[in-house]
Structure formats: structure tokens, C-alpha cells
Amino acid sequence: MAAIEAAQHSRGSVLLVEGQSGMGKSRLLCDAVEAAATRGFMLAHGAADEPSRLAPLVPLMTALGESPQTLREGLDASVETADLRLRLLDRLQNRLEERVARGPFLIALDDLQWADPTTLLALRSIVPELASYPLVWILARTTGIAASGADRVFEILARDGAVRIALEPLSEQAVAEVIDDLLGAAPGPDLLAMTAATGGNPFLLVELLRGLYDEHAVRAADGRLTLVSRQLPRRMQEIARSRLGRLSPHTRHLLQVAAVLGRSFRVDDLAEMFDEPPSRLLPALEEAESEAVVAAAGDQLTFRHELVWQAVAETVTVPVRHALHRQAAEMLLRRGGSAIPAAAHLMHYARPGDTHALKGLDQAVREVLPSSPQSAADLAVRALELTAPGDPDRVDRTVTAVYALTTCGRLPEAADFARAAMGQAEHPGQAARLRSELAYALLLAGRPADAVREAEKALAQPDLAGDKRGLAEQVFLRGLYATHEFRRGRELAEEIIDSGRQHSRAARVGARMLFSYLAWGDGHAADGISHVREAVRIAPRDDDEARRVHPRLHLATLLTDMRRLDEAEAQLSQVTEEIAEFGQAAYAAAPAIFRARLRLAQGRLDDAEAEAQAGLAIADQMGTHAFVLLGLAVLIAVAVRRGDLDAATGHLQRYEERFRAGARFGLAWGRWAVATLDEARDGPARAFETLRPVCADPAERRWLLMSEPDAAAWLARTALAAGDRPSAEAVTVTAEQLARENTGFPALAASAAHARGILRGDRVTLAHAAASHPCPWGRASAAEDLGVLLAGSRNVDDGAPIEALDRALEGYQRLGALRDAARIRARLRRLGVRRRHWTQSERPVSGWSSLTETERNVAALAAQGLTNPQVATQMFVSPHTVKFHLRQVFRKLGIASRVELARLAAEHASEPPRSEA
């Protein structure tokens, strides 16, 4: 196969195989495994099946020769319901990376239509991450059986470049060749007409031909096969009954019970179902194997084909099947240990009010929730369906279901269940408890205004106590500052702080967070940072409710605002570790999105784009979109600075869609990013209209200038260009006030100086801003404004404006701000000066010379054999950034593997890096 050949040359590949049952997918995978084995590949071959779809990562771990439990060793967090998916996937990726670093590796996974959600999440995230290794993935699924997440995973992998093969029915010529191979002669027209009924399905075709042969329904005449009888053979009329009919009664019954256990089953389980020792089953099992109904597969037996398994199972009537599922579940529960294997049977047979089944489902929910919230949610919902309205455990089960649905990102379902259950609650306290969970789900869905309303209703109930009250208070306060209505919560926050430990940690964290926003809104940076530092201190590592709000993320945001970027970086690194360690998958996207804005402030546009795209992809995977406005706004700003207005417009469309869906976090900063696009497309007047409401409101104006120091000069300049000097005055006055009241924050001082220099035409102030701005884009912008001012002034040395504009040009070009650089070159041309530069358009589009300095650094480390996380550690960036740059390197060099990269890096090792300016 081409994929295997490519891997022998150190290139990875992904092959997606799909088709109806019986089309030959499993045979294709087996052939690929055999071919890879003869070439010395390391191999992993596994399959999913319906009974094990509740157990996380079973197909992958079984293929790798490990149990899923070994992956979890040492990972259990102190919080019982911690979401371990992030850590499990990280461990799994590391193990795969260690293996494939030793040589070519083939992983073949079959029947992924039955795969559990965590396995699908692993494939969706790990397959692209390991694309540069000699790793071949062959993934197969059966279509037309049941809707599953495998459909979406196949679509995503195909979009990323995987080869997708749909096994089509055999052509008439192929059917004729199969007939010739099996029966020893070419088919006549009547036989071909009958075989057309199989629809070209290889499995059904072979079964038909074998049935015709066994029943002597074909004969050879003049070198061709003709039909003796046109009646379909009994084998085809009912495949399973035909096969079972040749077996002894005991063997038939044994296989029917085995089919209830699953397509694959353990002999010990089957023996216990019959209450006999395994030795008593030996004759029947040998008979089943000799008749090609089952075959050995590792330490289990498996039905040879899914169609056979399904057909055998359907020979058991529904009432009997339910009874057998119940027996299997009780057998598995009696053994103790995990309830997950029993849960698959409980899902089938349990009836409403069955307390024994409900206890088993409850246990399974608790077990599976940390590593597969999706499966836990399915189990919890089923448990609710079986719980009588008056059952005292119903509220607890509903809360668990809502929590599981929220954790796995099925937020609309979580909200629907909570609302429905509130109407059935027996007393106000139960309804308030459910409303607290509803409020949190709405908050994660990016609907803070709705979350505030629900939390407020919950807090109005006197029966809400303990952690649930603390959660409701936290959500209420957090929702208020997400919607910029934080002053509404001042009274509650003051009461929580004054009452001290009478309130939960969650409530106290929320109160401190609200106070930080109040201080920020009042223009007091030190107080705002102090409050959020206290929130970080209050939220200990072992308090899940307190950590739901993640104050450290907010601290990183405020430090980024004030351009204390090294400390912001350190906080984001720590919060990334905490989110993974404690399984807070709802926040999985947040570090990348917040780091994207930090990278933008540093002037690293490529890295900002990489982090934002990674964060948005994770938010999509996890179904949590609370922070996506911020990520999309970063992409808008990056695209505008590069001059790619089409891309910026596309990001704006997604931004507006999320805004209409209720997302609000990061809205104030996002408005500024949107206004920069308006200015680039339609000029300053249109841009200023976008921000006029912000500029007209002192509180909103103060908030924007605290959140984005570069905005002050931009607003002053844009207002003047739009003919609105009063607004430019108001912005400058606010910037100067913030600088006076926050003397310990140079970013605000530089911001005020820059705005004042533009408004007053003060070259000294602009020169100071150009030297003191803590970030490169601000310095370049101030140098540009200084150059423009000097160019229009009298009694100025002719070289002064050119020198200032040259500094601006160099700064913009180093950042990759191509649109800004183009504007400077136009200004210089008007002064009679032409400057050559190394632009994206002039840089070679391929080859080693096309690599940027950052790309060369990434390439050099990867060529040494370092993994993406190791490269990230060396370069003090995130793995998302490394992945982005490595993809660019591979594209520019026309390669697909680290081995090829190592060869090219060695060839060019002595070349000096090309200047970016």
C-alpha cells in the first residue's frame, strides 16, 4: 500500500476506510497489517464494538497492548468527578510519540462506528499532532448502522488531508471474477442476474455462492455456470439460522447467549452465564469454530462477521434478550470492581423503577465521568429515564446528568434537563440547586446574561445552601463582570467579603473577582491586580467549586493589559498545568486564547494566530465557547495588521455569529479590534462610528483604555481624522488621568504621551512615547506619528522625519505588520525616499530561504529529534505555536516528515539567518 511505502520513507499518513457491513473493510485492514509486518513495522491492531463503547479508550489501548486502567495510574485527582480527558490524551500522545520515534508504526482500528467519545476525541486531536512521524493510521467504520461521532471525526481528518476511501459495491466484472475464483467457472447470465441481488456486497455474494453450491443449485455447462434452481438458497434467506441449523441445540443456545454478551466475548463469562465450568463448553465451542461462526481473537472469541453476530442476536426474542442482558449485568455486578461492563447491559434491559439497575448505572456514571463525560452523560440520562418522578434520588441524578452534560460540552441539553427538572422539583431548595447548575452551564455556553438571571433566581431561594449557594453566587458575580454590569454585584460582593468564612470559597473568589473588575473600571490597576491575586490565593488546588472561575486566567489578562508580559506568561503556563492536572476541560481552550492576546501584545503575529486558532479548535471540540470572542478578535487584529482584509472579514463574520449566540467575554477589547478593520476597509469615519458609544461614555472609555493601552493613540488619531476633535480630547484626558493615577504602570504613561502627542502635535511627547512604549507595535506606531508630524513641520532637519519613519518601518516589518509597513513606504516615497524591504510577497514562497527566523529555530530543534512539547519548552512557547510553525516549515520545504527535515537542516546548518527587516 502507498501509505506503508510512504512510512518506510519516514512519512506519516492517514487512511479512512468506510462502507456498509460486508464490503471488506476488515479484510483490507488485516491485509495492511500483514503487509506492514513483513516490512518490519511496529503494529497496533484493534477494533471497537458496541458493548464496550461506554469504556473510554478501549479500542486504542487494546490495540497498543495495554489496558485503559494503566493510562490512568496516578492520575486520579482529589475531586471525584474531575475530568481527566486532557491528561489521558496527553499521556497517550506521549506514549505513541515514544514508540513511533523508534521506527515506522501502523495503527489499524476497525468498527469505529462503535467507538467511545474519548477514543474519537483522541483520534481527532492526536492524529494531526503526530503527522510528521512515520505513523500510518488506517481507520475504518461501517456506514448505515447508527449515527456516531465517527462521522464528524472522519470529516475533520479528511479536511486535514487524510485519504478517504468509500468501499463501493463490486462491479459486475468483479462479481464474475469472484464467482470464477470460488466455483471454478465463469457465470452465465442467469447466475449473474441472481448475484445482482447482493448489491455487490462481497460478504453477501460469497454467502450466496456458498449456499448455491451447498444446495447443488448451479452446474457447469460449456464452461459456464448456470442455475439449476432460481430459488434463493436457505443460507441467504436467513444467514444465521442457516448456520445455526447445522449446529447441535446446545451449540446454538450457547451462541445465542454469546451474541448477547457482544460480538467478542470471554469464555469465562459465557461459562458463568450457563453456570458451568469452561471445560463443559469445549465441545460446543469447537463445533462453532469448525463451522466458521466464531474465531479466536486474542484472549476472547469473536463472531467472524458483524452481520453474523447481529443475525444470531436477532434469533433471540426480545423478552428473552432482555432477560439475558439482565443476567449478564447481574453477573458482572456480583464480581465487584468496575460497573462499566455491566452498564452496557443495564442500558438494554432495565425497566422504570428498577432500583438494582439504577444503582449499577449510578456507579457506572461515577466511574466513567472522569475519563468520558460523554458516556457518563448518556448513562446519567438513561438513569433519569428509569427513575420514577417521586424517587428521592431523582434530584441527585438530575444534577449529575446536568453536570455530565455540561462537562462534555452538551450545554443546550444540560440546560433543557435542568429546566425540565425544576418544574418537577418537590420543594424550592431542589429547584434552586438545579438552577445553580443551569446558570453555570449557560455561563460556559457564552451566555452570561442568561446565567445571571438564573443565578439571581437561585439566590432568591432561602433553601439554597452550602456549595450550591456558593456556586450560584460565583456564577452571578462572574456573569455580571462578563456583561460589564459588575456594579450591580457590589453589594453582594461586599457582604461576602465582610462575612468572611461564612461564605464558601467559591463565593469569596467570585467576590474578589468582581472587586477586581470594579477597580479596573475605576481606573485603579494596582487594586484590580491585588484583588485577583487574593482570588488566586483563596482558590486552593483541592476545591473544585472555587476553581470553576479560574482567577489565574483573569490575573494573566490584567497583566497583559498592563504589558507585564513576562509575569502574564508565567501565570498562563501555571494555569495551563492546573487545567490539565485537575481535568477542567471546560477551560481547555482558555489558555491558548488568552495566550493569543499576549502574543499579539508582544508583536508575534504568527504565534498569536497559532494560539487563537488552536484555542478556537479546542473550544469547538469541547463544546465550550465562553472565550471565543476574544480569540476571534485576536485573529481580526492579526489579519488587519498583515493587510489580509478578506481573512479579517471572515473572522468578523464568526465573531458576529458568536455575539448573536450570546457570547460577551472580551467584548470591549473586541470592539476595538473590529473598529481597526472598519478603518482599514472604510476609513476613519466608519471606524469611529463603531467606537463612538464607547468614547462617549466615560466608564466605557476608561475600561477600553485600561484593557488596551494602544487604543488611546489610535482613538485620538481616528477621531481627529473623522473630524471629531472633542472625542479626541476626551480620550486623551482619560488616558492622562489613568497615567497620573497609576504611576507604577509605564504602559499607561506611554499610552497617554502618545495620545497627547497626536492631539497637541507635540514632537517631544511623541519621541518619548516612541522610546518608552513597552510593546513593539506601540513603539512603531509612535515613531510613525512622530515622522508624520516632523514631515509637516517647518524648521526641521530634513533627515528627522525620514529617520523616524525608518524606525517605524523597521518595527512594522519585524512584526510582520505588512499593511502598516506599506503605509510607511508610501509616506517615505512622498518624501522622495524608496526603501527595499523583505516582505511576505518578496520572500521566496518555498525552499529554505523562505523560512522566517522563528521557523528556522523550530526546524532546527525538531530536526534534533525533539518532540513538539520539548521544542516548546526550549523556545518558551506553547506546543500550539510549535505545531503551527512546523506545519509552515513542512509546507514551504515540500516535506512531510522529521527525517526529511533533519536532512535539510543539516545541509543548511552553516547558513546565517536572513534578517526579517
Contact in structure between 615 and 631 (CB atoms under 8 Å)? yes
In this predicted model, what pLDDT tens digit does every residue of 618-637 receive, in sequence order? Answer: 888 777 788 899 999 999 99
β-strand pairing of 294-297 with 300-303: antiparallel
Q: Write b or e for each residue in 83-105: b if 16 or more Cβ atoms lie within 10 A of its Cβ, otherwise e.
A: bbbbbbbbbbbeebbebbeeebb
Residues with Cβ within 8 Å of 53's Cβ and at least 6 positions away in sequence, in order, are 114, 115, 116, 344, 375
Q: Cα–Cα distances in Å, from 752 out to 348, 712, 716, 719?
A: 68, 7, 10, 16
Instruction: Write the burial class of residue 837 (CB in 10 Å: 0-12 exposed, 13-18 middle, 19+ buried).
Output: middle
CB < 8 Å & 24+ apart, contacts of 361-367: 361/386, 362/393, 362/397, 362/400, 363/339, 364/54, 364/338, 364/339, 364/340, 365/400, 365/404, 366/80, 366/81, 367/338, 367/339, 367/340
Contact in structure between 883 and 868 (CB atoms under 8 Å)? yes
Q: Cite the beta strand spans of 665-735 per DSSP E.
A: none
Only one residue has cell 516490512, namely 39
At 573, which helix (H) or strand (E)? helix 565-581
Q: How far apart (Å, rounded) are the C-alpha atoms in residues 158 and 155?
A: 5
The mean of the pLDDT values for the chain is 84
Q: Find residue 136's DSSP bridge partners.
A: 13, 106
pLDDT of residue 81: 46
The arithmetic mean of pLDDT across residues 229-242, rounded, is 59
pLDDT of residue 916: 45
* Res. 238: pLDDT tops 80: no
* Res. 841: pLDDT tops 60: no
Q: How many Cα atoms sit within 13 Å of 422 on the Cβ side?
A: 20
Amino acid letter for position 656:
E
Q: How far apart (Å, rounded) are the C-alpha atoms in residues 258 and 266?
A: 9
Q: Cite the beta strand spans of 532-596 per DSSP E.
A: none
Q: Cite the beta strand spans of 530-667 per DSSP E.
A: none
pLDDT of residue 354: 79
Q: How far apart (Å, rounded) are the C-alpha atoms in residues 770 and 279?
A: 87
Contact in structure between 257 and 324 (CB atoms under 8 Å)? yes
* Res. 548: pLDDT tops 80: no
Q: Using the 8-state DSSP alphabet, how is residue 848 labeled? A: G
Whether the CA torsion 906, 908, 912, 914 is positive or negative: it is negative
pLDDT of residue 834: 84
pLDDT of residue 77: 47
Task: Determine the distance from the C-alpha atom of residue 870 to the mean position of all C-alpha atoms in its chain, rounded to a whole number.
Answer: 21
Residues with Cβ within 8 Å of 605's Cβ and at least 6 positions away in sequence, in order, are 599, 638, 641, 642, 815, 816, 817
pLDDT > 70 fraction of the chain, expressed in percent and rounded: 90
In this predicted model, what pLDDT tens digit does every residue of 145-179 receive, in sequence order? Answer: 655 688 888 988 888 888 888 877 777 888 888 88
In this predicted model, what pLDDT tens digit does every residue of 218-232 receive, in sequence order? Answer: 888 777 888 877 665
Instruction: Write the burial class of residue 74 (CB in 10 Å: 0-12 exposed, 13-18 middle, 19+ buried).
Output: exposed
* pTM of structure: 0.73
pLDDT of residue 836: 67
Q: Write b or e for each residue in 807-835: b if 16 or more Cβ atoms lie within 10 A of its Cβ, otherwise e.
A: bbbbbbbbbbbbbbbebbbebbeeeeeee
> Band of the pLDDT at 915, cuts 50, 70, 90?
very low
Residues with Cβ within 8 Å of 170's Cβ and at least 6 positions away in sequence, in order, are 178, 200, 201, 202, 205
* Res. 80: pLDDT tops 50: no
Question: What grid cell was written down for 213?
Answer: 453450491
Contact in structure between 284 and 251 (CB atoms under 8 Å)? yes
Question: What grid cell was written down for 179?
Answer: 464467482
3-state secondary structure at position 875: helix
Question: What grid cell was written down for 602?
Answer: 508582544
Q: Find residue 300's DSSP bridge partners.
A: 297
Contact in structure between 344 and 350 (CB atoms under 8 Å)? no
* Res. 471: pLDDT tops 80: no
Q: How far apart (Å, rounded) are the C-alpha atoms in residues 510 and 528?
A: 13
In this predicted model, what pLDDT tens digit does every residue of 551-567 receive, in sequence order? Answer: 899 999 999 999 999 99
In this predicted model, what pLDDT tens digit does every residue of 759-774 receive, in sequence order? Answer: 999 999 999 999 999 9
Question: What grid cell was written down for 300?
Answer: 476472547
Nearest-CA neighbor of 270 among 357, 333, 331, 337?
331
* Res. 237: pLDDT tops 60: no
In this predicted model, what pLDDT tens digit does every residue of 501-528 receive, in sequence order? Answer: 677 787 888 889 889 989 998 999 999 9
Q: How far apart (Å, rounded) are the C-alpha atoms in residues 706 and 734?
A: 10
> Band of the pLDDT at 79, cuts 50, 70, 90?
very low
3-state secondary structure at position 913: coil
In this predicted model, what pLDDT tens digit does every residue of 317-330 receive, in sequence order? Answer: 888 988 898 898 88
Could you give the angle at which helices 490-499 and 505-521 cross, rounded to 10 degrees? 130
The 10 Å Cβ neighbour count of residue 136 is 26
Could you give the angle at which helices 428-444 and 411-424 cross, rounded to 10 degrees? 170
* Res. 840: pLDDT tops 50: no
> Band of the pLDDT at 843, cuts 50, 70, 90?
low
User: Who wins on pLDDT, 290 or 740?
Assistant: 740
Strand order in the sheet with 42-47: 42-47, 105-110, 135-142, 13-19, 163-166
Q: How far apart (Å, rounded) are the C-alpha atoms in residues 206 and 29?
A: 19
The arithmetic mean of pLDDT across residues 75-89, rounded, is 64
Q: How many Cα atoms sit within 13 Å of 340 on the Cβ side?
A: 21
Q: How far apart (Å, rounded) are the C-alpha atoms in residues 811 and 369?
A: 50
Nearest-CA neighbor of 449 among 660, 692, 620?
660
